[in-house]
Structure 1
Amino acid sequence: MQTAAVVLAAGGGRRYGKPKALVEYEGSLLVERAVRTARAATDVVLVVLGAQAVDVWRTADLTGATVLANKDWESGMASSLRTGLDGLRGFPGTVDAALITLVDMPGMTPEALRRMAEHASPDALAVATYDGVRSHPVLLGRDHWAGVIETAQGDEGARRYLAEHSAAGKVTEVDCTGLADPTDLDVPGVPSAP
């Protein structure tokens, strides 16, 4: 199975005060960390930029990633998810599943991404859990991309689509406890729980 990682890094970081892609964390930009982590786990990496995209592209080392620009980034994360999945549809070769990961989770690891990728297939729907709490990454099989694109709105991303399919027992929860830290960075110096 060909699995691609899609790093969502387009937001303006309103609460943070600047785009999180440009935030330095432990010696590198958050977007660089996310891309390096994804590259260590998958052969195909797409990174979706938006706010200050040109500055991010010029400043960050995005070696090994395909960069996509989301012109509608201000409408919320859903537009970035749509941009990434649309980009995979047109990618050379067939990608069977997409691992969706966020730029503001510096504790993500290749091990967690690889654990999720073990469940990859065109009809896969899976979400990482940490101590029983759902978080990222999320695995979306190719068969679900059109449905996710159609239902994703605002800052919810795939949440509604996953909720509908969870009710039908079609979403696999993958325990990633201890493999990664699901904490995201919402405001400077204050990490928030998943």
Structure 2
Amino acid sequence: MRLPAIILAAGEGRRVGGPKALLDLGGKTMLARTLEGCHEGGFCPCVAVVPPSLIEAIRRQQADLVLGSNPSPESGPLASLRIGMELLPADVCGLLLVMVDFALVSRATYARLGESIRRDPNRLWRPVHGDRHGHPVWFPRSLFEALRAAPLDQGARSVVYANEHLWAGVEVDDPWIFRDVDTPQDLRDAQSEASRRT
């Protein structure tokens, strides 16, 4: 059973000083850390959707990635997700939607998600810490058409909330499933945490 991941990393990161995919967290880029988590969970193939200007640089750094580009990142994450979906093999049973913004989600979280998805890939899986759901999110194949049809301004979240009957949660001890890097302070906090882990 192949469990693909699509890593959304097309944002320009204006508020944090550059494209998030290449921002450094403890000596590794945010994209590299995200990819390590995907590998820990056994997610393969991994597709990353990045700005066109970064394709060659990322290809040199991450030869094992399938790369797509979104020339209009202002169109939002769902547009990038659809670009990534076009690059998936035809026979996959779903996809893990991964935001590079959440680069410090632990490897253990990815591993637990992978185990749960393998048991039942037809559910909509999300990690849970306390009483809150976070990232990344597994969408079963049955929701692919809904992802393709959802309004861009509502994003994949609209598909999640329209399919509550498919929800399943994986309990994890990982507050980073909620913590994205979106501001300079977020970046400083993430860099501090990354340094603590290494």
Secondary structure in structure 2 of the residue aligned to 1:10: coil
Kindly state the Cα deviation for residue 180 of structure 1 after the two structures are TM-superposed: 6.2
Matching residue of 1:172? 168
Amino acid at match of 1:159: R
> Any residues of structure 2 matched to 1:121-160 within 5 Å, and which?
121=120, 123-154=122-153, 156-160=154-158
Structure 2 residue 184 is the aligned partner of structure 1 residue 188 = yes
Q: What SS class does the counterpart of residue 113 from structure 1 fall into?
A: helix
Which residues in structure 2 correspond to 1:32-181 (within 5 Å)?
32-41=32-41, 42-50=43-51, 52-54=53-55, 56-57=57-58, 61-88=61-88, 91=89, 94-117=91-114, 118-120=116-118, 121=120, 123-154=122-153, 156-166=154-164, 169-176=165-172, 178-179=173-174, 181=176
Q: Which has the higher helix share?
A: 2
Larger strand fraction of residues: 1
Question: Residue 111 of structure 1 aligns to which amino acid in structure 2?
Answer: A
Moved segments of 4+, more than 6 Å: none
Q: Secondary structure of the equivalent of 2:96?
A: strand
> What are structure 1's unaligned runs of at least 5 residues?
none
TM-score, with structure 1 as normaliser: 0.83
Q: Give the AA of the match of 1:171.
A: W
Deviations 1:53-80 (A, max 9, x none): 336426x621321111123322111111
> How much is the aligned-residue C-alpha RMSD, in angstroms?
2.4
Please state how far the C-alpha of 1:190 moved relative to its aligned partner: 2.5
Q: Are 1:7 and 2:7 counterparts?
A: yes
Amino acid corresponding to residue 172 of structure 1 in structure 2: A
| TM-score calculated relative to the size of structure 2 | 0.82
